[in-house]
Structures are given as structure tokens and as C-alpha cells.
Structure 1
């Protein structure tokens, strides 16, 4: 009686142990299957697949390359900025005109650049003339400006023409070299028309203005 009473209990314990063993085997097989599946999937994705560690290493390499490139650009830019400044001072020959559009000495500002002009005088061929008006037209030479060292005068330029008016300081003939025309280029300009007036303001039909030396 004693053995028969305890037989069912021993059977149940043995069955429980078998059941736990079966569950362990099943769980182990599942983990192995998952590992195999993960490995197979990784191989199927090929070289494009990267583990987190591999991706982190790749990004670090890329950022290192970017930093080196930016550093090289910064050095190159700094070298360019630290280059010696241009020696071309504003207002000097073949350099930009100054802030007021002027140049040093006898230089003239043409196309925002200070240039050295040639000077050609205008001559009046009548001693009775006290004032004259003349219209010049650019030729191979370009009128840049006009000076009046021995007369009172003014000029207005509307390329390719320059209008000039000048008069003697006193009731006397207009001196030679009274008007200096500053010219850029190797050529000359032409006198398109001119007229002169005597001391009373009357026009002198025979008087004219010509290009001097």
C-alpha cells in the first residue's frame, strides 16, 4: 500500500522534469534559430549592411576628413587675407581715383583710374579777340580735362564732345598757352567749330581757334 500510494506522486514529478527539459530544449533551439536567421539575413543584405559599431566608425572617419578639409581651407583663406596689401595708392598714376574723384598733381581721373594726360594748347589767331567759344570732338585722342592757366574759363564735356568758353583777364589779346587741353591716348582731337568776340562783345567773323602745340 505504501508504494502504490506514492507512485502517482513520483510519476508526476518525473513528468514535470521531462516537461521542463522539453521547454528548455525548445527555448534553446529557438535562440539558435534566431541567431542563424540574423546571420543569414546579414549575409543576404551584403556589404551595405553595417553594424552599429561599424557605422559609428565610418561616421568618425568621415568627420575627420571633413575637419581636415575645413582646416586646409581656413589656412588657405588666412594666407590669402594676410598677403601684402596692394601698393597702388588712390589718387596716384594708374591707380583708382580718390574718394572725391580726384588725382594727385596733373593726373586726371578717367574711368575711375588716375592717368597721366598729354597737354595740347588752343591758340586764337586774332589779337582783337577777348573771348572765345569752341567745340572739340574726340578723335583717336580723348579729351580728359581742360586747364586755364592764363585765362578765365570753363568747360563742359558730353563725350565725345567738349565745349569750352574762355576770356582774357584784361582788355588785352588772349595769350598763347592760355588754354591747355588734357588728352588721353596717342592721337588728337578736332575743332568742330569756334567763334570769338571783341571787347564790346561783337563777334569777329574772321577769328578762329586752332590746335597749338
Structure 2
């Protein structure tokens, strides 16, 4: 078997970098090297030492693995929710008590999830007795359990608050940017639905 040339190895790295949607500055930060040095290494202007090449490759493989992580490994399955007949005040109290910035909306107390209400949605309404059904909330994009992390990220980057994960049409969990940030549930479910900034 022919040995890979330095040029081939760097071309493979650049290809992986593009496929995972990252850039050279991010890679340089992970490898702990100056971006200009890394750029010269990838362009072939300066040959990188083997340990640096190995670290670069390992980072790219990790990023590639993260991109294919399925939705079922990222979703949360236990959470606080509101429902259509609850009042604005009741939903707001849940947000305040749990330090949440959004709540899934159910048809009724134990019903299917039909959307998600954010703190911004509630702040637009000044009548505490108005029901959630009368407040504008957001519908959720549905994805299957095996949907890749990359596709989930693309959906959330379009401005959606969360995505609903379904199994054969049945809701089984949901994912916010906060869940992507921590890479999925790490501890026992806490019931929170925090956004990417942890609010």
C-alpha cells in the first residue's frame, strides 16, 4: 500500500474541515497553534511536525463524529411544560420558578406537544388570565430519532427555538441549542428547557 504524501494528508484535512462546517481559525484554537502557522501547515508552506498533524486529525475526526450524532442522543425527554388552557400567569410562574426561557406547549396537561412558548411570547401579552391558546407561540419542526446533529443545527440556526424529536410520528423528546452546546443530556434530567445561553 502506498504511503500518503504530506500533500494528500493536508488535502484530506481541508476536505474534512469543509464537510464539518468549521474553519481554520477554529481548528487552530483546538490545536493550540497560531492560525497563520496552521494555515501554512495546511497549504504546505511549512511542514507540521507529526504530533501536530495527529492532533489536527483527531480534532477533525471528533468534529466529524459530532456532526453525525443522532437526535436521540441529544434530546431531553423529561421537562416542564405548559398547555393550551393554562394562563399566561401560570406559564410565567413556571418559567420564573425553573429559570426557563421557554416551555413546550401541550394540547392538554398530558397531551401531545404542539409547540413551544418563549419568555418573549409571554412578554407581548399583558393579560395574566389569557390562555396560552390565545397567545402566539411557535410550532416545532419535527425530526426523527436518527436525524443527524448537523441537520438539527441547521434547523436551529434558521431561528427555530427547538426541534421536536419523534418516533414513528410520536413525540419522544426535543432539542434546543443549549442541548447542542452540552452535547446531549449529561446528568439526570432536570426538567429545564434552557436556551444556548443558559437562560
Same topology, TM > 0.5: no
Structure showing the higher strand proportion among its residues = 1
Calculate the TM-score normalised by the size of structure 2.
0.24
Calculate the TM-score normalised by the size of structure 1.
0.23
